[in-house]
Structure 1
Amino acid sequence: MKTETPFCHERHGASRVRALTVLSLSVALASCGSLAPKSFTDEEIRSRVEQDRQVMYADQEPITAPISFHEAAARALKYNLDYRLKLMEDALSQSLNDVANYEMLPRLVAGAGYMGRTNSPGGSSVGIRDNVESLRPSTSQEREHTVASLGFSWNALDFGVSYYRAQQKADQVLMAEERRRKVAQNVLQDVRNSYWRALGAQKLIGQVDTLIGRVERALERARQVEKEGLMPQAEVLAYQRALLDAVNLLTLRRQDLELARAELSALMSVPPGAHYTLATEIEQNLPTVPTDIDKLEHMAMERRPEIMEEWYRKRVTENDIKAAKILLWPNISIDSQFNHDSNKYNYHSQWIDTGLRVSWNILKLAQYPSLKRAHQYQNETDDMRRMALSMAVLTQVRVGVQRYALSLSELDFAEESLRVDQRLLDYSKAAAKSRFDSELEVIRSEARAVLTEYQRYVAYSNAQAAWGRVYNSVGLDVMPDTIESHNVKALASAMQQTMQGWQSSIFVAKASTNTPQEQ
């Protein structure tokens, strides 16, 4: 029977250690070589662009019917990428808050390992007084053995700091929710700005194109009359100049109409080239100008997301100071650990360590006066920042109400101008003859009527936008806290009920001064 000598055992152990050393060096060198910069290839860029375009417009409900205002707002809130980003940030904050709550738990650490060396550990002993060796060289540990442990520890200062950090994460969740509310309010405001202009564009753009065609044909006839000398040149040129002015104005207005629809499509994240129409609904009655400004200001101070977010931020910064103060006090730590060692020389291969330790860095107490002053100054700074923001909010409410009043006056003027220009157009058509000046007057009247109708739609959309700014300045919510479903129709219905509820409880509807415009 062949037995393994100590020399062979030592050689085998050395070979294992060398193998581990070579493996470690290989991994280290490989990791160093992978740090070289590597740019994306053209194929990877094209693949990423194609994938992003698919994700941007993925999982959208198809448009099967004309889109109403509230459905446009619902689509914007559901598919707008900025709002979806805020929803993801909200979910991330909630997840980080859950993680912070687990950080308050004690530590329970399990460990295991292998230890080996190329030769035997050990030593000898000599006398302190005579330096005479009293023991021959000996060892109490195997060259190769395994260890395992399961340790429990709790630290009072770590628990205190983790407690305040968890409170900060909870407040940051609330801050994210306020930012989400603000983005939802801004999305509704943008939709309100674009929808009514786009609805006017849908009705007027056909009339504008038809009128531009008539003007171009009239210009061609005028050039022919000038060429044949049938009318004085000055009169013909003045006629052409008037027609060109009409074409210029109509072309500019047509560009505005097309941009309004493009803005609405971007807000709803409608895929490029998708065809849709807006609902031909009667214009919504606008509320009267609010008179109880104090009530609106009080609501704004209570509901504006920016003020609430700033208030939560004060608690976050205050908990920073509290966490720093915690570290000034004595620390208590409790430890308990179960151990196992396969070393055959041990008398006990398993044992439990327990300990209780109290420590105090007394010099840290010198920071207390500075921390106390920092706490006071931080609170004063946060309060002043909130006061400055509140003053800006109150100013927005008052300015918003004034602008809304001016926009209603502008709308009344635009409606009166439209009625007059339509009557002038009817008169011009009735008095039209075969002469050029009569045809020019009809075209001028028709162009003026179209432009005035455009201005009326602009005035109405401006009034809607001004009313939306009042709504936004008060911080009124777009949707209720809970809804039955998240499809577009359910969102649109919930938003409509919420906004009508706010309007009926705070504002009084104002009937339009003219016959309702079919849109």
Structure 2
Amino acid sequence: MNESTVNTIPSPLRWTLVAMACAVAAGCASVEPVALTQQDMQAQQQKDGVNLRKDVAPISGPLTLDEAMARALKYNLDRRSKQMEEALALGQLDVNKYDMLPKVMAQAGYSRRDTQRFTGTTQYGQPVPGSFAPSQTSSSSEAAHYTSDLGLTWSLVDFGMGYYGAKQQGDRFMIAGEKRRKAMHLLMQDVRTAYWRSASAQLLKADVQKTIRLAEEALDDSRKAATERVRNPLEPLRYQRQLLENMRLLESIDQELSSAQVDLASLINAPLGQTIQIATTDLKNIGNEINQVPVQKLEEVALLKNADLREQHYNGRIAREETRRTLVRMFPNLSFNYGAKYDTDNYLLNRNWNEAGVQMSFNLMNLFTGPAQMKLAEAGVALADQRRMATQLSVLTQVHLSRLAVINTRSQFERADAIYTTDSKISEIMRNRQSVQAQSKLDLVSTETSAILSLLRRYQALAQVQVAESRLVATLGIEPQIGSTGELSLKELTEQLGKAQAPWAQLSAEALQPAPAPASATAKVASVVTNNSVANTSAASSSAPVTGVSASISAPSKGKW
């Protein structure tokens, strides 16, 4: 195609061909998938490694339980994720608030025709001629001109939808806060478990290794004696089997305790290979104040503060707001608009002008779909109510089960402590006998293994007591009164957690408080009778004996979070 042929193509067709060529070129463009390279992975891992330990204070000295929980609340990555989710929900709430504002639109444009826009005119009632004479044509706009306008539009339906949408997002923000509370309770339970496992590993590891070496020496001696064949061959084999069984038990204990440090380091965001020294001064029992709190008081607190139940209440509010959104969506839409416009067309006498309008619109299909939409929204409300009631029953069940778990685990701890006390005395006697060659190594290994196992079960039972109490606290939805973990330093947060006492004494005092006296004389008499009954109950409970734990642990404390 030569130049003369190109020049013969009409101008509109020429521009059409150019546009089609651009569209075809854009359609042929493809994006190939790009796999991550090893360099990209290594670079990202280095950045993540730096951010992982960013602003994390190193552990200096023995780690107390309060500091471990403070580190978990401040540095745990899963907790940070929950906090970010809550912040994201708050940001979404701020964004949804703008949906209630009018829409302000600014536009600018450019229009160009390749030919001048002429129109023909005829007299009224005359037929339209096949062509117009030049005197019968006129033009009312330029071939090229610029336009701009600034307009404001406000819709009543959009305002209603935005209003109820913002209320729903506010409830979702509150749900994110409840999920953060629940995650905090679960985190504190996990920290307690990992801390006590680490404490057990620190106290038992040396004894376990020592007993394993003693068992290996006894096993070697037995095998050497078996080769001499001075005894019945069945006796050495039985002896060796008992040694091997004890060694297997000791090795299983060692393997179980070996992962405790890794679990604790992961929860408090410490280097996984770091050896964490546990402060042994924290190895003490909790008090028995929970037995003095009536079950009715525990149920009352749980129904008010449990995170799962509060979340279902918010879900119910969201479902009810959705019914209102559905109702607003079916209303006729009333919209207002106002705008300032400008046009460079020289044919216009007024290039600047303001424009305002009111519009009413209604989707006639809402007459048919409206009942179905409302029925669906009401079904969502019924489902939310049913879930809330099911959660309420589940929470009450958890309160009773958690309370029983605290009582049962305390009883198991007392039994495990008594067993350990007995085994430790037996082990001491066996060591004294073995020192004067009055006892075989097998008996010593067996008694040492039993003592180690009893001590392990003692600390496991003690950990289960505190974990059971933490689970009950989580079910009640009570958390320690501390400041913002982001604003407090690690030392300040540790001190606040150390001062925070378990809520049982306060709940017991609230349960014993008399109800306010009514105005009528009859109600006053009833109040006096009730107060006397409560006082008698308090006196009876205070005079009842309370079983304590063995004094070999330490004096019972009031209990901490």
Higher mean alpha-carbon deviation, 424-433 vs 245-254, is at 424-433
Tell me the SS of whatever aligns to 1:103.
Answer: helix
Give the percent of matched residue pairs that are identical in Structure 1 and Structure 2. Answer: 28
Q: Does 1:84 align with 2:80?
A: yes
The total of aligned residue pairs comes to 504
Higher mean alpha-carbon deviation, 275-284 vs 369-378, is at 369-378
Partner of 1:394: 396
Q: Deviations 1:245-296 (Å, cap 9, x if unpaired)?
A: 1111100011111122221121112223223211121424323253511211
Partner of 1:438: 440
Deviation at 1:30, TM superposition (A): 4.6
In 1, Cα distance between the equivalents of 2:26 and 2:481?
A: 55
Tell me the SS of whatever aligns to 1:356.
Answer: strand
Contact 1:484 1:490 in 2 (8 A): no
Contact 1:433 1:439 in 2 (8 A): no
Tell me the SS of whatever aligns to 1:286.
Answer: coil
Q: Deviations 1:448-488 (Å, cap 9, x if unpaired)?
A: 11111111111111222222211122121245355794322
* Equivalent AA in structure 2 for residue 163 of structure 1: Y
Partner of 1:69: 65
Partner of 1:381: 383
In 1, Cα distance between the equivalents of 2:554 and 2:31?
A: 67
In 1, Cα distance between the equivalents of 2:202 and 2:119?
A: 96
Tell me the SS of whatever aligns to 2:278.
Answer: coil
Question: 313, 326, 330: which is aligned to 1:311?
Answer: 313
Deviation at 1:125, TM superposition (A): 2.1
In 2, Cα distance between the equivalents of 1:21 and 1:153?
A: 39
Higher mean alpha-carbon deviation, 66-75 vs 115-124, is at 115-124
In 1, Cα distance between the equivalents of 2:467 and 2:43?
A: 40
Deviation at 1:502, TM superposition (A): 1.8
Contact 2:430 2:439 in 1 (8 A): no
Tell me the SS of whatever aligns to 1:146.
Answer: strand
Question: 112, 115, 125: which is aligned to 1:116?
Answer: 112
* Equivalent AA in structure 2 for residue 168 of structure 1: Q
Deviation at 1:446, TM superposition (A): 1.6
Partner of 2:93: 97
Partner of 2:240: 240
Partner of 2:329: 327
Higher mean alpha-carbon deviation, 245-254 vs 374-383, is at 374-383
Contact 1:171 1:315 in 2 (8 A): yes
Q: Does 1:407 align with 2:404?
A: no
* Equivalent AA in structure 2 for residue 447 of structure 1: T
Q: Deviations 1:370-401 (Å, cap 9, x if unpaired)?
A: 44444443332211110101111111111111
In 1, Cα distance between the equivalents of 2:365 and 2:476?
A: 51
Deviation at 1:404, TM superposition (A): 1.8
Tell me the SS of whatever aligns to 1:274.
Answer: coil
Q: CA 1:81 to 1:26, structure 2 compared with 1: closer, same or farther past 3 Å?
A: farther
* Equivalent AA in structure 2 for residue 514 of structure 1: A
Partner of 2:31: 35
Deviation at 1:81, TM superposition (A): 1.6
Deviation at 1:332, TM superposition (A): 1.6
Deviation at 1:333, TM superposition (A): 1.2
Higher mean alpha-carbon deviation, 264-273 vs 392-401, is at 264-273
Q: Does 1:513 align with 2:514?
A: no
Q: Does 1:224 align with 2:221?
A: no
Q: CA 1:275 to 1:424, structure 2 compared with 1: closer, same or farther past 3 Å?
A: closer
Higher mean alpha-carbon deviation, 47-56 vs 178-187, is at 47-56
Tell me the SS of whatever aligns to 2:120.
Answer: coil
Q: CA 1:27 to 1:270, structure 2 compared with 1: closer, same or farther past 3 Å?
A: farther
Partner of 1:504: 505
Contact 2:72 2:191 in 1 (8 A): yes
Q: CA 1:501 to 1:247, structure 2 compared with 1: closer, same or farther past 3 Å?
A: closer
Contact 1:483 1:494 in 2 (8 A): no
Deviation at 1:516, TM superposition (A): 2.3
Tell me the SS of whatever aligns to 2:342.
Answer: strand
In 1, Cα distance between the equivalents of 2:368 and 2:171?
A: 30
Q: CA 1:402 to 1:493, structure 2 compared with 1: closer, same or farther past 3 Å?
A: same
Q: Deviations 1:397-416 (Å, cap 9, x if unpaired)?
A: 11111122221111111111
Contact 2:323 2:378 in 1 (8 A): no
Q: CA 1:28 to 1:277, structure 2 compared with 1: closer, same or farther past 3 Å?
A: farther
Deviation at 1:362, TM superposition (A): 4.8
In 1, Cα distance between the equivalents of 2:223 and 2:250?
A: 21
Moved over 6 A (4+): 507-510
Deviation at 1:93, TM superposition (A): 0.6
Question: 489, 492, 496: which is aligned to 2:491?
Answer: 489
The TM-score, its normalising length taken from structure 2, stands at 0.83
Q: CA 1:219 to 1:488, structure 2 compared with 1: closer, same or farther past 3 Å?
A: same
Higher mean alpha-carbon deviation, 216-225 vs 415-424, is at 216-225
Contact 2:423 2:447 in 1 (8 A): yes
Q: CA 1:510 to 1:107, structure 2 compared with 1: closer, same or farther past 3 Å?
A: farther
Partner of 1:5: none
In 2, Cα distance between the equivalents of 1:488 and 1:32?
A: 58
Higher mean alpha-carbon deviation, 86-95 vs 45-54, is at 45-54
Deviation at 1:235, TM superposition (A): 2.6
Tell me the SS of whatever aligns to 2:55.
Answer: coil
Tell me the SS of whatever aligns to 1:354.
Answer: strand
Gaps of 5+ in 2: 1-7, 510-545, 556-561
Q: CA 1:32 to 1:190, structure 2 compared with 1: closer, same or farther past 3 Å?
A: farther
Tell me the SS of whatever aligns to 1:338.
Answer: strand
Tell me the SS of whatever aligns to 1:141.
Answer: coil
Question: 350, 354, 360: which is aligned to 2:356?
Answer: 354
Higher mean alpha-carbon deviation, 452-461 vs 86-95, is at 452-461
Q: Deviations 1:490-510 (Å, cap 9, x if unpaired)?
A: 222233334x15243237998
Partner of 1:130: 127
Partner of 2:421: 419
* Equivalent AA in structure 2 for residue 158 of structure 1: D
Higher mean alpha-carbon deviation, 451-460 vs 271-280, is at 271-280
* Equivalent AA in structure 1 for residue 120 of structure 2: S
In 2, Cα distance between the equivalents of 1:501 and 1:431?
A: 46
Tell me the SS of whatever aligns to 2:334.
Answer: strand
Tell me the SS of whatever aligns to 2:253.
Answer: helix
Deviation at 1:51, TM superposition (A): 2.7
Partner of 2:268: 268
In 1, Cα distance between the equivalents of 2:27 and 2:58?
A: 49
Q: CA 1:433 to 1:93, structure 2 compared with 1: closer, same or farther past 3 Å?
A: closer
